[in-house]
Amino acid sequence: QVQLVESGGGLVEPGGSLRLSCAASERTFSPYTLSWFRQALGREREFVAAVIWHSGKEYYSTSVKGRFSVSRDTANNTAYLQMTSLTPADTAVYYCAASSAGIVNVHEHFQSWGQGTQVTVSS
């Protein structure tokens, strides 16, 4: 199974920005969907954003649309989540996940997951 390695999390003040990275171990990485999910303490895991790998088409939850941007670098087998205008409500563990199907926002449909990276937004 493909290994996904995340990086880029940390502590940011409200209004700040972070870029998360998700690197795949495969020589050639071609999922159908690469999605980002997050889980805040004591809350359910929720969908954040997704990119269809072959086309680059993007999807976003209503809570992050306009603030977050998902992208992928196919040559380097890496996906990114650029987060701006961060608020304390964005504090969560963020996960990337790869799927062979086009269901972008249901976590049970994803076959490979990163280890998660903590994002904390606080003053």
Give the pairing type, strands 58-60 and 78-83: unpaired
One-letter identity of residue 67: R
pLDDT (0 to 100) of residue 92: 98
Would you state the pLDDT for residue 123?
92
DSSP type of residue 65: B
pLDDT digits (tens, 9 = 90+) for 49-97: 999 999 999 999 999 999 999 999 999 999 999 999 999 999 999 999 9
Look at residue 28 in the predicted model and tell me its pLDDT. 86
CA angle centred on 83, ends 102 and 28, rounded to 5°: 45
C-alpha span between 17 and 23 (Å, rounded): 20
pLDDT band at residue 1 under the 50/70/90 scheme: confident
Which phi and psi (to 5°) does residue 96 adopt? Answer: -105, 150
Mean model confidence pLDDT for the chain: 96
Token couple for 9:
């999390």
Residue type, 24: A
